[in-house]
């Protein structure tokens, strides 16, 4: 064995590697044998669905949006749920996960980014987990707020027993009650671990490869409905990297973001509060910056256009941007007014809210109309001929 091979082998994190490689293998072999012999039971499917949701959302809603980004506050009961079922997802403790993730945001696409996509799809998806970086693993200096929480420290200290008990022993015990202990371990344990693992891993790989970059063009993170569907709504990743503290990733009403809907649901029943939202005005400004960059690139590419034509294009863009910004500013004001009124207590709260909500609806409609005009003008400026029209 050469010194280099020995060094490489020493870097391999054998426990994690064996776990990540054996779980899909066990799922395939044991799964095929079990299903061919016993079929698929309704109780197995039910416990599988519960465990996929409990552990998957503990990662997206809990580890990611609450602990790593502080996108909202929540009750102790919810936090403990995240700590227990997040551990059962077998993605390490909150401290390790969030420390890596904050490094990913800070150094995106650079060497210090633990799952740097520029090192390849495989590295970002799973490769980075197969090797040990001792220096990184012991450095929690970027998560002092989380280190200060004794519950989070406890979860870190006892991570493995919590993960095994919540991830495999509890399904076994639940299954024993209905006479299917190993069927429950297979479905709620093995199948579910593989599914949730790769769903999370896709946020680090696929979300940095496919989709659009409407908010920040200088980074690899992208928005894609395909990734969103596979990752509990984490696929609007360009928005997320631009506005990481927003509790939403998919901001449109139709955007598939069940993690956002769950946080709103927790707010409605009083278990979550202080949901952070980036004002519409700032979001629109980021989009316009990207559009302006695209337009500049096009103007630089097209040679031979007269100065008059270029000035005309720029003036049209500026005029359109100003009208969009006006609509966004009006909507932001209405959103703030409604948010303030909702926080107020008192008998006439509902009476005060009604007209404000009507104004908010009108501002949303105006923003929607402004957005339609914006995209029509933009398509024309980016794709149409760069000539001054005879009428101008
Ligand atoms: Zn990312
Ligand atoms: Zn993040």
pLDDT digits (tens, 9 = 90+) for 211-258: 999 999 999 999 999 999 999 999 999 999 999 999 999 998 889 999
- Are both 289 and 340 inside the same structural domain? yes
For residue 71, give the ligand nearest its CA.
Answer: 2
pLDDT, greater one: 389 or 306:
306
Q: DSSP readout, 227-266?
A: HHHHTTTTTBHHHHHHSTTSS-S--STTS--HHHHHHHHH
Per the structure block, which two tokens stand in for 279?
Answer: 């004002």
**Ligand 2 centroid, distance to 64 Cα (angstroms):** 6
pLDDT of residue 300: 84
At 302 the pLDDT is: 77
Confidence of residue 9 (pLDDT cuts 50, 70, 90): low
- Please give the share of the chain, as a percent, with pLDDT higher than 70: 94
- 62 and 170 belong to one structural domain: yes
Whether the pLDDT of residue 3 is over 80: the answer is no
- The mean pLDDT of 153-158, rounded to a whole number, is 97
Q: Could you tell me the distance, in angstroms and rounded to a whole number, from the CA of residue 195 to the centre of ligand 1?
A: 19
Looking at 273, 308, 326, which one is the last position of a domain? 273
Taking Cα atoms as reference points, which of 356, 336, 353, 335 lies closest to residue 345? Answer: 353
pLDDT band at residue 7 using 50, 70 and 90 as cut-offs: low
User: What digits encode the pLDDT tens for the residues 144-155?
Assistant: 999 999 999 999
Selected residue with higher pLDDT from 7 and 117: 117
213 and 196 housed in the same domain: yes
pLDDT bracket for residue 384 (50, 70, 90) = confident
Between the CA of 60 and the centroid of ligand 2 the distance, in Å, is 9
Residues 6+ apart with CB under 8 A from 281: 325, 328, 329, 331, 332
Which of 253, 273, 293 corresponds to the end of one domain? 273
Could you give the number of structural domains in the chain? Answer: 2
Using alpha carbons, select from 84, 266, 263, 49 the residue that is nearest to residue 170.
Answer: 84
Rounded to an integer, the average pLDDT of 276-284 is 96
d(CA 12, CA 17): 8
The whole-number pLDDT of residue 390 equals 44
Whether 2 shows a pLDDT value over 60: the answer reads no
Same domain, 9 and 158: yes
Among residues 252, 273, 294, the one where a domain terminates is: 273
Tell me the residue range of the domain where 346 lies: 280-383
Q: Do 59 and 207 share a domain, yes or no?
A: yes
pLDDT bin (cut points 50, 70, 90) of residue 345 is confident
What is the reported pLDDT for 346?
73
Evaluate if residue 132 carries a pLDDT over 60.
yes
Q: Does the pLDDT at position 369 exceed 80? A: yes
Q: How confident is the model at residue 205 (pLDDT cuts 50, 70, 90)?
A: very high
Cα 238 to ligand 2 centroid, rounded to whole Å: 10
What number is the average pLDDT over the span 112-116? 95
Same domain, residue pair 188 and 259: yes
Q: Could you tell me the pLDDT band of residue 6, with boundaries at 50, 70 and 90?
A: low
Residues 263 and 285 in one domain: no
Predicted confidence at residue 214, as pLDDT, reads 96
User: Residue 72's closest CA among 339, 336, 273?
Assistant: 273
Q: Would you say residue 174 lies in a domain?
A: yes
CA of 251 to the centre of ligand 1 (A): 17
Which pTM value belongs to this model?
0.91
Same domain for 267 and 284, yes or no, is: no
- Nearest ligand, CA of residue 222? 1
Question: Do both 46 and 154 map to the same domain?
Answer: yes
Q: What is the 212 CA–ligand 1 centroid distance (Å)? A: 14
Question: What share of the chain in percent tops pLDDT 90?
Answer: 81
Q: Average pLDDT for residues 337-348, to the nearest whole number?
A: 82
- Indicate whether 389 belongs to any domain: no
Question: Would you place residue 135 in the very low, low, confident or very high pLDDT band (cuts 50, 70, 90)?
Answer: low
Average the pLDDT over each of 56-70, 249-263, 301-315 and give the range with the smallest value.
Answer: 301-315
pLDDT mean over 102-113: 96
Query: Minimum-distance ligand to the CA of 202?
Result: 1
pLDDT classification of 391: cutoffs 50, 70, 90: very low
Q: State the ligand closest to the CA atom of 208.
A: 1
Question: How distant, in Å, are the alpha carbons of 85, 117, 127 from that of 132?
Answer: 24, 18, 11
Mean pLDDT of the chain: 92
Q: Are residues 204 and 64 in the same domain?
A: yes
Give the tens place of pLDDT for each residue, 313-337: 899 999 999 999 999 999 999 999 9
């Amino acid at each position: 064995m050469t010194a280099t091979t020995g060094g490489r082998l020493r870097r391999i994190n054998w426990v994690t590697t064996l776990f990540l490689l054996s779980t899909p293998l066990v799922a395939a072999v044991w799964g095929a044998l079990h299903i061919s012999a016993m079929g698929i039971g309704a109780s197995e499917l039910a416990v599988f669905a519960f465990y996929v949701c409990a552990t998957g959302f503990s990662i997206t809603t809990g580890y990611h949006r609450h602990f790593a980004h502080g996108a909202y506050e929540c009750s102790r009961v919810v936090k403990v749920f995240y700590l227990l079922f997040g551990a059962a997802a077998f993605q390490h403790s909150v401290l390790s996960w969030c420390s890596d993730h904050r490094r990913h945001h800070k150094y995106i696409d650079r060497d210090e980014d633990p799952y740097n996509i520029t090192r390849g799809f495989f590295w970002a998806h799973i490769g980075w987990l197969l090797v040990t970086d001792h220096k990184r693993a012991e450095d929690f200096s970027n998560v002092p707020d989380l280190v200060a929480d004794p519950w989070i420290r406890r979860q870190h200290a006892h991570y493995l027993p919590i993960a095994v008990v919540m991830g495999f022993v509890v399904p076994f015990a639940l299954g024993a009650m209905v006479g299917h202990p190993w069927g429950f371990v297979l479905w709620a344990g093995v199948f579910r671990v593989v599914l949730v693992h790769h769903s999370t891993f896709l946020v680090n790989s696929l979300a940095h490869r496919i989709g659009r970059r409407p908010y920040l063009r200088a980074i690899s993170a992208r928005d894609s409905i395909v990734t969103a569907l596979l990752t509990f709504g984490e696929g609007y990743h360009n928005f997320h990297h631009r506005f990481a503290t927003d509790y939403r990733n998919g901001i449109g009403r139709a955007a598939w973001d069940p993690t956002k809907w769950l946080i709103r649901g927790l707010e409605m029943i009083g278990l979550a509060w202080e949901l952070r939202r980036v004002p519409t005005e700032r979001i629109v400004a980021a989009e316009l910056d990207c559009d302006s960059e695209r337009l500049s690139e096009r103007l630089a590419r097209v040679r031979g256009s007269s100065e008059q034509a270029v000035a005309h294009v720029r003036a049209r863009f500026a005029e359109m941007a100003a009208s969009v910004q006006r609509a966004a500013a009006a909507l932001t004001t209405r959103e703030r007014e409604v948010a303030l009124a909702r926080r107020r207590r008192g008998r006439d709260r509902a009476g005060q809210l009604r007209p404000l909500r009507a104004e908010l609806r009108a501002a949303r409609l105006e923003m929607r109309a402004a957005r339609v005009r914006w995209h029509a003008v933009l398509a024309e400026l980016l794709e149409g001929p760069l000539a001054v029209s005879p009428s101008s």
